[in-house]
């Protein structure tokens, strides 16, 4: 292991290391801790300038409740769910198929189609913005959740295909060859042989795409505009103008908006990191 494990070093080094860990963490998360502290303070603390003291009264329950009762936040959160979940399902479904086709079959043009997906996945959003907005308007889907979902599915298919194809390439080919010799049809090979083996990849991708889409802001402001369809990333700006300068409320609102992907991460950590670091090890 590198660096040398602290257990193999002097007691002094070990103690210093264990003391440094929490200190470094607090420093690292300082801006966030500040916002967390704000979110449980009562309004009075801000008007009296008690910014950094312990909250004079614990107002956490009140502030967080107000986020749900006095604002459109529940609606935005719901919109985010209705945008994110269908996108995850759509993009994963499409890329299971494209990944299977590109990973299993050898045919002319295979690598070029693969490269098209990979390259498209890296383009700046702005080069797509005007035409995609135009297309969405023409389809009558501007300012609808469906309009956002369709675009997200299409764009995420690029990254998902890269992921799935590489995953399928690493599966043992003998399984597929054996099934072919038995005369199993291609669609049944896909469904009964390959798909069950792809479970870890599907789990990892789902968690990743959930986070990416939940956190999307650019397409939310380009393709939607009102409370009817905007996700929480875009809704938080409206929320903040409603509670202008009420920092305890804005802090609580931001934490609520950020929470779902954070929970997803802590619950599905193994899959999340497996997905994110694919290719980081050879």
Partner 1 sequence: MRLAPWLFLAPGIAFFAIYVILPIFQSFHISLYRWDGLGDARYIGLQNYERLLDDPAFYTSLWNNVRWLVLYLLAIPAGLFIALFLNQQVRGIRLYKSLFFFPFVISQVVVGLVFAWFYNPSIGLLNPLIGLFGFGPVNILGNPNTVTYGIIAAGLWPQVAYCMILYLTGLNAVDPEQVEAARLDGAKGWKMLWYVILPQLRPATFIAIVVTVIGALRSFDMISVMTSGGPFGSSRVLAYYMFEVSLSEYGFRMGYGAAIAVVLFLIMMVYIAFFLWRMFREERGV
**Of 161-200, which residues contact partner 1 (CB under 8 A)?**
161, 186-187, 190
By CB under 8 A, is residue 100 in contact with partner 1?
A: yes
Handedness of CA 183, 186, 191, 193 (dihedral sign): positive
Q: Judge whether 251 and 66 are in contact, CB under 8 Å.
A: no
Site for partner 1 in 22-51 (CB under 8 A): 24-25, 28-32, 34-35, 38, 46, 51
The minimum distance between CB 130 and partner 1, in angstroms, equals 5
By CB under 8 A, is residue 68 in contact with partner 1?
A: no
CA distance 221 to 121: 20
Chain centroid offset of residue 171 CA: 26
Using CA atoms, how far residue 108 sits from 57, 102, 113, 180, in Å, is 70, 11, 10, 21
Looking at the Cβ atoms of 58 and 125, the one nearer to partner 1 is 125
By CB under 8 A, is residue 155 in contact with partner 1?
A: yes
Residue located via tokens 């002097």: 10
The minimum distance between CB 131 and partner 1, in angstroms, equals 4
By CB under 8 A, is residue 78 in contact with partner 1?
A: no
Looking at the Cβ atoms of 206 and 254, the one nearer to partner 1 is 254
By CB under 8 A, is residue 70 in contact with partner 1?
A: no
The minimum distance between CB 259 and partner 1, in angstroms, equals 9
End-to-end CA distance of the chain: 17
């Amino acid at each position: 292991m590198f660096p040398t494990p602290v257990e193999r070093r002097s007691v002094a080094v070990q103690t210093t290391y264990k003391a440094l860990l929490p200190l470094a963490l607090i420093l690292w998360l300082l801006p966030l801790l500040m916002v967390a502290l704000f979110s449980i303070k009562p309004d009075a603390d801000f008007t009296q300038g008690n910014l950094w003291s312990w909250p004079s009264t614990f107002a956490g329950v009140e502030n967080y409740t107000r986020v749900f009762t006095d604002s459109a936040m529940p609606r935005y959160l719901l919109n985010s769910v209705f945008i994110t979940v269908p996108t995850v399902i759509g993009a994963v479904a499409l890329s299971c198929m494209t990944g299977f086709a590109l990973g299993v079959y050898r045919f002319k043009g295979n690598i070029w189609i693969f490269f098209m997906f990979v390259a498209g996945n890296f383009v700046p959003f702005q080069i797509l913005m005007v035409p995609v907005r135009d297309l969405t308007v023409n389809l009558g889907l501007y300012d609808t959740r469906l309009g956002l979902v369709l675009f997200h599915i299409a764009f995420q298919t690029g990254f998902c295909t890269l992921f799935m194809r590489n995953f399928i390439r690493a599966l043992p080919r003998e399984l597929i060859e054996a099934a072919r010799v038995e005369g199993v049809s291609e669609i049944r090979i896909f469904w009964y042989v390959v798909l069950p083996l792809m479970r870890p990849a599907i789990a990892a991708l789902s968690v990743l795409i959930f986070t990416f889409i939940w956190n999307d802001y650019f397409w939310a402001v380009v393709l939607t505009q009102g409370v009817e369809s905007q996700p929480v990333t875009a809704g938080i700006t409206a929320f903040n103008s409603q509670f202008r300068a009420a920092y305890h409320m804005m802090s609580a609102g931001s934490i609520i908006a950020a929470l779902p992907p954070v929970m997803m991460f802590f619950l599905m950590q193994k899959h999340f990191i497996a997905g994110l670091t694919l290719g980081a090890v050879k």
